[in-house]
Structure 1
Amino acid sequence: MKPNIALVIGDPAGVGPELVVKLLADESAGQANVYVIGSRAVLAGAMHETGVHRDLPIVALSDIGSRDLPSPVLVDWPGLNADGFERGQAKADNGKFMLDMLTLGARLTQQGATDALCFAPLNKGALRAGGMQQQDELRWFEDLLGCHSYTGELNVLDTLWTSRVTSHVALRDVSGLLTPEGVADAAKLITDSLLAAGKTEPRVAVCGLNPHNGDNGNYGNEESTVIEPGIALARSRGCAVDGPFPADTIFVRAKNGQYDGIVTMYHDQGQIAMKLMGFERGVTVQGGLPIPVTTPAHGTAYDIAGRGIANVGAMKNAFDLACRMAAGRHTRS
């Protein structure tokens, strides 16, 4: 039975709408019942810009989840008739529109009408202008869904996943924020998420913090005082975890297939490697939430918005992963 996917068009001022239109025209969209949340005017503009046209019947909110509906369909919601938005601008109107779409998609998935939420790229500046008070959309989802468990952003490139102990914080603060518990939590999160995506025996590596793993304390001792105890704690929780490894070599091992996931200590430690290996293919998973949530790992590309040239690769991968996680959700329930 096909999963039901809530598909949010993302920032209407960016490339999100054209990515959604291109995705809907791809055969991969046929693996799910797709409920598009967005604006008719914005989607019509995206179809014109891309030259890709797809009929989108409108479905009432009360009918979402019915297996007898065609797919894809456009959800009838208060923002359906919103006018166009100024391209390439992070403003309050597109920020609030994004928050309203995400709220609807998350609620539908939380209530079981849809099985997963996949959204096109967002702009954090616009989200804050539109009313988001949290540091990022993951914390916003936590509050919206009443989630009190450990959460974290996970980045996925093909079969390789990364999690991180610290995320959107100043680099100067990273060392002081690292704890054995944090390392173990990030390892458990990526292990559980890999399992949820269908990986039966996840193998996870953990990065050190300092150059050359601290060189036996010459360049710092976080590896021995914080990270190694965190690895031991993760193992006690049933995680197959190795490390710590120098961050400048572990991605080579993982790329060659030795590991399925890598725990990094801070944002760019993993993001630089992942985006260099496949910027136009990467996916972000909002890990630890009670519902599956995926999105492309790249941004809104304001500089090319409206030109119809955005690469749909990461959007397709985010959608594919949402479908796999939705299937895994049913398997576990």
Structure 2
Amino acid sequence: MDAEQQGRQRPLIALAMGDPAGISTELATRLVASARVREAARLVVIGDRRMLDAGAAVAGLATAVPSVAIEEIGNADTGPALIDLGNLDPADITPGEASLAGGRFAVENFTLALRLAKAGRVDGVCYTPFNKKAMRYAHPGYDDESRFITGLLRLDDGGVREFNVLQQIWNARVTSHIPLKDVSAALSEEVILREIARTESCLRLAGIEKPRILVAGLNPHAGDGGSFGMEEIEIIAPAIEAARARGHDVAGPFPADTVFVKALKEGHHAVLTMYHDQGQIAMKLMGFDRGVTMLGGLSFPVCTPAHGTAYDIAGQGIANPLAGEEAVLLAARMAASTATERRPQ
């Protein structure tokens, strides 16, 4: 196998440029230049060459990324390429300020990346961070990436779930972007069982052969035998028992304030939490600059750095690319498990 053939074996990952008022364009350039990324994947960047060049200027990097037409991306050589949509002039963006122009840019780039992945033209999707305010300017009613994907690709509601990933542990959650007062009513044995199965499936795609999962309780001290709530007894524990009966290696419910400590000490691969901040706080304390958000439940991976757009350091050339690199590496590992059967023949 020659060098070009070896290069083509690497998954083809679409990198959608995110919010241009933050660090997203700088990060895109740094990912294009990253040796770790180039070894793991072929990148096709989606956005505007002017914005990519602006990001390169901030980062102090040279860009030598050829433009390709959409129909040519599967035949791109082993290096990165750019689908230049010509959709944003840098002069229209104020660093650190959410805008309609910035939101429209991110929405257009992400939409094309998802459609290419759905069609099997690319093996996975990554994106540099979005700003939700800007996204809502461009796409009224925008809640989060999971619901955006669900609507765009016409999927069943609840089919896309968000995972947060550090190299040593994953965080899955039963509920996500809903008010805290609504969490208890959203829990059921069926829903928890579904999320356990989804978590195991995603872990296997990431290369973990025998996933081990811990489940957090909802209430303080996991309810303390019913003293602080009955959800653990009536809903969560029965779901865990049903999952074990189906062959999943899962245990709990454990108090949320110690479950991550237990998982790390005992080598478990994931913690399933009941609501957003229950896991997010722990994960960001453990590795804010290394964390990855992965959207699971699709036939292809969608990954992004877990940190935000960092408006406060926009244009300073100090963005840390580590989480972005980890996002591409995770997408590449997961895409390698499904790419062959997804590519058009």
Please say whether Structure 1 and Structure 2 have the same fold, judged by a TM-score greater than 0.5: yes
Aligned pairs, how many? 332
CA contact (8 A) 2:54 2:90 kept: no
**Structure 1 residues 51 and 78: CA distance shift in structure 2, 3 A:** closer
What does residue 140 of structure 1 align with?
148
What does residue 178 of structure 2 align with?
169
Query: When the two structures are superposed, what TM-score results if normalisation uses the length of structure 1?
Result: 0.95
Alignment of 1:99-138 (within 5 A): 99-138=107-146
Residue identity opposite 2:219 in structure 1: N
Structure 1 CA distance for aligned equivalents of residues 250 and 17 of structure 2: 37
**Is 1:24 the counterpart of 2:32 in the alignment?**
yes
Query: When the two structures are superposed, what TM-score results if normalisation uses the length of structure 2?
Result: 0.92
What does residue 10 of structure 2 align with?
2
Alignment of 1:99-248 (within 5 A): 99-148=107-156, 150-248=159-257
**Structure 1 residues 81 and 302: CA distance shift in structure 2, 3 A:** closer
1:35 Cα deviation (Å)? 0.4
What does residue 6 of structure 2 align with?
none
What does residue 86 of structure 1 align with?
94
1:137 Cα deviation (Å)? 1.3
Residue identity opposite 1:71 in structure 2: G
Question: Gaps spanning 5+ residues in structure 2: where?
Answer: 1-8
Residue identity opposite 1:323 in structure 2: A
**Is 1:56 the counterpart of 2:65 in the alignment?**
yes
What does residue 304 of structure 1 align with?
313
Residue identity opposite 2:250 in structure 1: V
1:274 Cα deviation (Å)? 0.3
What does residue 72 of structure 1 align with?
80
Provide the aligned C-alpha RMSD in A. 1.7
**Is 1:284 the counterpart of 2:293 in the alignment?**
yes
Structure 1 CA distance for aligned equivalents of residues 185 and 154 of structure 2: 28
1:97 alignment partner, SS class: helix
CA contact (8 A) 2:27 2:321 kept: yes
**Is 1:15 the counterpart of 2:14 in the alignment?**
no
Render the CA deviation track for 1:239-287: whole Å, top value 9, x for unaligned.
2211111111110121224310110000000000000000000000111
1:73 Cα deviation (Å)? 1.1
CA contact (8 A) 2:174 2:191 kept: yes
1:132 Cα deviation (Å)? 4.3
Structure 2 CA distance for aligned equivalents of residues 309 and 225 of structure 1: 50
Question: Gaps spanning 5+ residues in structure 1: where?
Answer: none
Render the CA deviation track for 1:58-91: whole Å, top value 9, x for unaligned.
1111101115x25111113352767552211122
Q: Structure 1 vs Structure 2: percent identity of aligned residues?
A: 45
